[in-house]
Amino acid sequence: MSQQHGPVCRLCRRAGQKLFLKGQRCYGPKCAMERKSYPPGHRGQGSRRYRVSDYSKQLREKQKLRHIYGVSEEQFRRYVRDAENMPGISGNNLLQLLERRLDNVIYRAGLASSRAQARQMVNHRHFAVDGQVVNIPSYLVKVGNRIEARNGSKNLQPIEEALASTSGESLSWLQVDREERVVDILGLPERDEIRLDVDEQLVMEFYSR
């Protein structure tokens, strides 16, 4: 996961929707989208409307998806190539690969308030996969893996706050023990459980030009 430098709220405003990049702040009145729902820059509030080309739509969806998961362009291209080489619908494959990232799984399980926070905790070696410490946020989990907070990390303040502020998502492919801070991977994510307002087919079309 790449670092998001600068004011990330501008990314939401540019996308025209909340990308939930700042955890609980995105749900409160301090969210920039609540106060400035128009795009940033001189073409924002009160500007003329311009016709949006097909290329622009594809680029916007690509950037939106890339920012949601916080991956660099180079990483994202690799995910697209891998998705195209997998059997099935390439757009669904792309989302599935992104959902299987370790930082995303920790976020989905409710052990972090944002993917950026989950990435930081993974980098600081607070989680183990099948008993082995993993400090690579992009690590792809597999069916049967068990993710758990290490003994000295179970009561970390960010984990406590995340668990207190959210009940976590109810997902059929994840089994979460909130008390023990353990997540078991039961299956692979299906498209209808990946609740994102994105058109992944436009993303694949962008790279197929």
> Which residues span the domain enclosing 134?
110-187
Question: H-type helices in 16-72, by residue range?
Answer: 32-35, 54-69
Q: How confident is the model over 142-184, as pLDDT tens digits?
A: 999 999 999 999 999 999 999 998 766 689 999 999 999 999 9
Whether residue 200 sits in one domain with residue 165: no
Range from 14-18, 77-81, 89-93, 180-184 carrying the lowest mean pLDDT: 14-18
How confident is the model at residue 209, as a pLDDT? 82
Res 25: pLDDT? 57
The answer to whether residue 2 sits within a structural domain is no
Q: Average pLDDT for residues 110-136, to the nearest whole number?
A: 97
**Is there a contact between 85 and 92 (Cβ–Cβ < 8 Å)?**
no
Residues ≥6 apart with Cβ < 8 Å to 53: none
Pairwise CA distance, residues 39 & 162, whole Å = 30
Least confident segment among 104-113, 116-125, 163-172, 174-183: 163-172
Residues 6+ apart with CB under 8 A from 199: 61
* Residue 104 resides in a domain: no
Tell me if 105 is assigned to some domain: no
Q: Model's pTM, two decimal places?
A: 0.78
Has residue 4 been placed in a domain? no
pLDDT value at residue 16: 61
Q: How many domains does the chain have?
A: 2
User: Is 1 inside any structural domain?
Assistant: no
CATH of the domain at 166: 3.10.290.10
Q: Higher-confidence residue: 81 or 39? A: 81
120 with 59, same domain: the answer is: no
24 within a domain of the structure (yes/no): yes
Phi-psi map region of 23: left, alpha, beta (phi>0 left; psi -120 to 50 alpha): left
Q: In the block, which residue shows the tokens 């940033």?
A: 40
At 30-43, the pLDDT tens digits run 555 566 665 665 55
The 182-185 sheet, strands edge to edge: 132-133, 127-129, 146-149, 182-185, 174-177
